[in-house]
Structure 1
Amino acid sequence: MRKILTTIIMISLVLLAAIGSSLMGKSESKSVAMTTITGEVIDIACFMGHDASGKNHTKCAVQCAEKGIPLAILDEKLQQIYLPLALDHSSPNAKLLNYIAQRVTVTGRVIKKGGLTGIEIKSIEPAHAVKAK
C-alpha cells in the first residue's frame, strides 16, 4: 500500500512540475482585431537617441532606413510606437519606406507582447489632415 501511495505522489509531482514549467515558459501575448491607427513614420534610432522626427529629418531617416534601422509609426496622441510586423518574413520596413516622416493611417492587427507593440499592416495611406470646424 505504501509503495502505491508513493508512486501516486511521485506521478502527481512530475505532472505538477510539467504543468508549471509549461505555464512559466509562455509569455503574455495580446492580439487585437483589425485596428486603424494614425501617426508619423519615424526611424527608431534617431527618434529614441536624438528626439528627431518630422519633415526636417526626412533625409536622415531615409539614410537610416537604407542602413537597416527599423522604422515605426508614432501615434502622437497616445505617445505609442507601433513596430511594423512582417509575419510573412518579408522586410518589415518595406511598407513604410515611401512614407518616411509623413503622417499615415494604417489598418492592421495590433499585437502586444514583451513590452512591445507591433502592427501587422494590411493597408497604409497618407493621413488626411483634420479640418477645424
Structure 2
Amino acid sequence: MKSKLQAGFVLLVVLGAGGAFAWQEHSHEHQGGKTAQITGQVVDIACFVGHNSSGPSHAKCAEACARAGNPLAIYDEATKTLYLPVSLDHKNPNAKLMGFIEKKVKVSGTVMEKAELKGIAIEKVEAFQ
C-alpha cells in the first residue's frame, strides 16, 4: 500500500512539472495593435445582439448573463462599434468590466482587429459621465 502511495505521489509530481513546462511553452507573441481610449456602454453580447436588449433596466439580466459565461463588450454608439475585451494574460476577459455592466465607461488599452472583429486589451476602465 505504501509503495502505491509513493508511486502515486511521484506521478503527481512528474505530471505537475510537465504541466508547468507545457504552460511555459504556451507563451507566444502578441499581435500588437494601437493604444487608444474608447468610450461606450458595457453590454452583454448575448442580449445585445440576440434580443436587442441593453440599458440600465437590463443591468440585472446582463449581470446574470455575464456570470453565466456570456461575454461582455463595450458598445461605442457614436461609431456603432462593438469592442470585445481581450485578455492577453489568459484571465477572465469580463473581470475588468463586471462593475460597469450597462454603464458608460472610458477604457484605455490596446485595440486590435482581425476578421472584422475589434477587441481591446484593457489597461484601465473608469466610469464616464
TM-score range, shorter chain: 0.7 to 0.9
Q: CA deviation at 1:32?
A: 3.4
Q: Describe the superposition over 1:30-83 as per-residue Cα deviations: whole angstroms up to 9, x where unpaired.
A: 853210000000000000011001001001000000100000000000000000
**Runs of 5+ in structure 2 lacking a partner?**
1-30
Partner of residue 80, structure 1: 81
d(CA) in 2 for partners of 1:73, 1:45: 13
Partner of residue 60, structure 2: 59
Q: Secondary structure at the match of 1:90?
A: coil
Over aligned residues, Cα RMSD in angstroms? 1.1
What TM-score, normalized by structure 1, do the two folds share?
A: 0.72
**Where do 4+ consecutive residues of structure 1 move more than 4 Å?**
none
Partner of residue 96, structure 1: 97
d(CA) in 1 for partners of 2:63, 2:107: 20
d(CA) in 1 for partners of 2:32, 2:65: 29
Q: CA deviation at 1:115?
A: 1.6
d(CA) in 2 for partners of 1:101, 1:45: 13
Q: Secondary structure at the match of 2:107?
A: strand
d(CA) in 1 for partners of 2:32, 2:106: 19
Does the 8 Å contact 2:47/2:62 carry over to 1? Answer: yes
d(CA) in 2 for partners of 1:67, 1:38: 25
d(CA) in 2 for partners of 1:31, 1:111: 7
Q: Describe the superposition over 1:16-40 as per-residue Cα deviations: whole angstroms up to 9, x where unpaired.
A: xxxxxxxxxxxxxx85321000000
Does the 8 Å contact 2:36/2:110 carry over to 1? Answer: yes
**Aligned residues between the structures:** 99
d(CA) in 2 for partners of 1:114, 1:36: 21
**Runs of 5+ in structure 1 lacking a partner?**
1-29, 129-133
Task: Determine which structure has more spread, i.e. the larger CA radius of gyration.
Answer: 1
Does the 8 Å contact 1:47/1:53 carry over to 2? Answer: yes
Partner of residue 124, structure 1: 125
Partner of residue 16, structure 2: none
Question: Which letter does structure 2 place at the counterpart of 1:85?
Answer: V
Q: Secondary structure at the match of 1:92?
A: coil
